[in-house]
Amino acid sequence: MNNLLSIPKLPLNDWVTNGVNWLTENWSGLFNAIQNSGQSLMDGTTAFLTAIPTPIFVIALALLAWFTTPKKYGLPVLILLGLTLVDNQALWGDLMQTLTLVFWSSFIALVIGIPLGIWTSKSPKAFAIIKPILDFMQTMPAFVYLIPAVAFFGIGMVPGAFASIIFALPPVVNLTHLGLQQVPEDLVEAADSFGSTTWQKLFKLELPSAKPSIIAGSKQTIMLALSMVVTASMIGAPGLGRGVLSAVQHADVGAGFVNGIALVILAIIVDRFVQKLNTNPVTTVKLPKWRKLAAWAMVLIMVISGAVGSVMASKQAGKQVTLGYVEWDSEVASTNVLAEAMRQHGYTVKTTPLDNAVNWQSVANKQIDGTVSAWLPVTHKAMLAKYKDKVDVLGKNLTGVRLGLVVPDYMDVNSISDLNNQADKNIVGIEAGAGVMTAAQKTIDSYSNLSGWKLTPSSSGAMPAALDKAYKAKQPIVITGWTPHWIFNKYKLKFLEDPKKTMGGEESINTVVRKDLKKTNPDTYKVMKNFKWSQDEMQSVMLDIQSGKSPEQAAKDYIKTHKSQVDSWFK
């Protein structure tokens, strides 16, 4: 390749990486403080919201909507029906988590954004500097914000909020600026001619004039924060987004729709309540006093019931454990089984679905206690190399795992060397960060007959869907496959022989925990070390989930039938 100016490629990537690393190392104190205080603030908010009994929450909110807009029944009815539906779908907890995340992200974005908008409207210089930054922020794909967010704050609510704030900030700044710019010139002159100070002008004329614009900007900001919920769930932000993401990874249309509709209901309710603030004094009829009082009473009922509920709920929970996992069917099975077993033995377990790379990073940074999803020695080779000094590998929890390129048995190829131009020279893969993808890429590079082949990333859920489509049409397809996996039970498939062993030989799934777990939490450490089961057992749980059981239920059923084995983990 001839370079345009024959200058060497700029190490931009390294510069950014080094910059972020420098920040992470030198500012870790600040970041940790923010992470801890932010986490406890959000946990507190969620605890408070979930402590309000659902019926009281729904009815009080519906009445609040009705008291604040007489003669309009749309919103109260939507609140009653919509929130009842969410609760009926067992998503209430997720909804409250999402509400917490959206509330704090929007709140902080507005607290930063509105003053920025005021400043840029007063100072052309500030606007000249901030405007390009805002444009940059607005056009940068939201995913990019997740990377430094994890580096700075690890996983969970705080990095999710951090990314949401950056992503959602621009509209409120832009529209505040615009609204203040559009205050009619003669009104500004009038305010000046009566001797208003800058502040008096701002509060008595400019902000009231710009209010509709500021509210519109705030609404956009809140909606963007809401839309970030799904993206932020990739780095462990809990809530409805996690359900959507997991549905995407499993190609589960129904679950995706249910979580999505819950988000839509939340979005509409929030939007309508914010819209209420945007009143035109000329056309608005003043609310009668009793309605105002009644509305405040509803707010008070919610606050009191929340406070009472949180006090009652704050009785000390058991030992806390956080497990990270990747949204692969195998890992959903194993993590749920272990989590359920630990719960039955008095632990409080949080499971967090994460991208593979983030999962390893979180163990290394002691963000989570451990994971039972480490595929070694080949699949996660790169991860282990990167973090081996920072994690504690406890050993195998499942053996006899195999990775490879997989084809339906109606195709007449048996070895990777036999491939030439089948399936459009395309291998259907899973998430780009997964270990099996690294191995597959290496395979393409080492087999000469695979030159010109390409590897298409998708997701663990989309890959079986693609397989299903091809299989039904008897079309050729090559996938990155691994056992244990339920597709081998559902379809007639075969592994392609791998003479060069680039896809790895026999592998095992391992348990990896954070470096200091043995010291700080020996009981958990012991359980994690003891956790072992077989490929058949895993397969049965996977099949249960595949045929429609919830992961928790499948895990419970497994524990019932294998009681003695499960108990042995806790000895």
Partner 1 sequence: MPKVQIKHLTKVFGKKQKAALKMVKENKSKNEIFEKTGSTVGVYDINMDVNEGEIFVIMGLSGSGKSTLIRLLNRLIEPTSGQIILDGKEITHFNKKEMLDIRRKKMSMVFQNFALFPHRTILQNAEFGLEIQGVKPAERQKRAEQALENSGLLSFKDQYPSQLSGGMQQRVGLSRALTNDPDILLMDEAFSALDPLVRHEMQDELLDLQQNVKKTIIFITHDLNEALRIGDRIAIMKDGQLQQIGTGEEILTNPANDYVENFVEDVDRSKVLNAESIMIPGLTINVDSDGPNVALHRMQEEEVSGLVAIDSKRQFAGYLTSDAAVKARREELPLRDVMMDMPKVKPDTIVSDIMSIIYDATTPVAVVDDNNKMRGIIIRGAVIEALAQTEGDGQADE
User: Which is closer to partner 1, CB of 187 or CB of 308?
Assistant: 187
Written as six digits, the tokens of 430 are 């899973």
Residue of the chain from 189, 445, 506, 516 that contacts partner 1 (CB under 8 A)? 189
- Of 123 and 456, nearer to partner 1 (C-beta) is 123
152-186 burial by CB neighbour count: b if 16+ within 10 A, else e? bbbbbbbbbbbbbbbbbbbbbbbbbbbbbeebeee
Q: How many CB atoms lie under 10 A from the CB of residue 474?
A: 9
Residue 457: both structure tokens together: 């990333």
Stretch of residues binding partner 1 (CB under 8 A), selected from 91-99, 187-195, 367-375, 379-387: 187-195
| Min dist. Cβ of residue 429 to partner 1 (A) | 59
Burial 495-513 (b: 16+ CB within 10 A, else e): bbebeeebbbeebebbbbb
Question: Is residue 285 involved in binding partner 1 (CB under 8 A)?
Answer: no
Q: What is the DSSP letter of 202?
A: I
Minimum gap (Å) between residue 127 Cβ and partner 1: 21
Determine if 196 is a binding residue for partner 1 (CB under 8 A). yes
- Residue 182 engages partner 1 in binding (rule: CB under 8 A): no
Taking CB under 8 A as the rule, does residue 277 contact partner 1?
Answer: no
Q: Each residue of 287-303: b (16+ CB within 10 Å) or e?
A: eeeeeeebbeebeebbe
For partner 1, the closer of residues 189 and 271 by Cβ is: 189
Number of residues that bind partner 1 (CB under 8 A): 20
**What is the smallest separation between the CB atom of 199 and partner 1, expressed in angstroms?**
11
Distance between CA atoms of 255 and 246, rounded to whole angstroms? Answer: 9
Which listed residue (17, 18, 21, 197) binds partner 1 by CB under 8 A? 197
Q: Which residues pair with 323 in a beta bridge?
A: 351, 370
Contact present, 249 and 460 (Cβ < 8 Å): yes
CB of 8 to partner 1, least distance (A): 45
Among 190, 277, 303, 311, binds partner 1 (CB under 8 A): 190
Regarding 282 and contact with partner 1 (CB under 8 A), the answer is yes
Among 61, 102, 205, 326, binds partner 1 (CB under 8 A): 205
Comparing C-alpha atoms, which of 106, 94, 107, 105 is closest to residue 50? Answer: 94
Cβ–Cβ < 8 Å for 159, 185: no
Helix (H) or strand (E) holding 376: strand 370-376
Residue 286 Cβ, how far from partner 1 at the closest point, in Å?
10
Of 81-89, 186-194, 347-355, 482-490: span binding partner 1 (CB under 8 A): 186-194
Asked if 187 interacts with partner 1 (CB under 8 A), we say yes
Q: Which residue has the tokens 């919830």?
A: 550
Closest contact distance (angstroms) between CB of 111 and partner 1 is 24
State the minimum distance, in angstroms, from the CB of residue 206 to partner 1.
11
Q: In the complex, which residues of this chain contact partner 1 (CB under 8 A)?
A: 184, 186-187, 189-197, 200, 204-205, 208-209, 211, 281-282
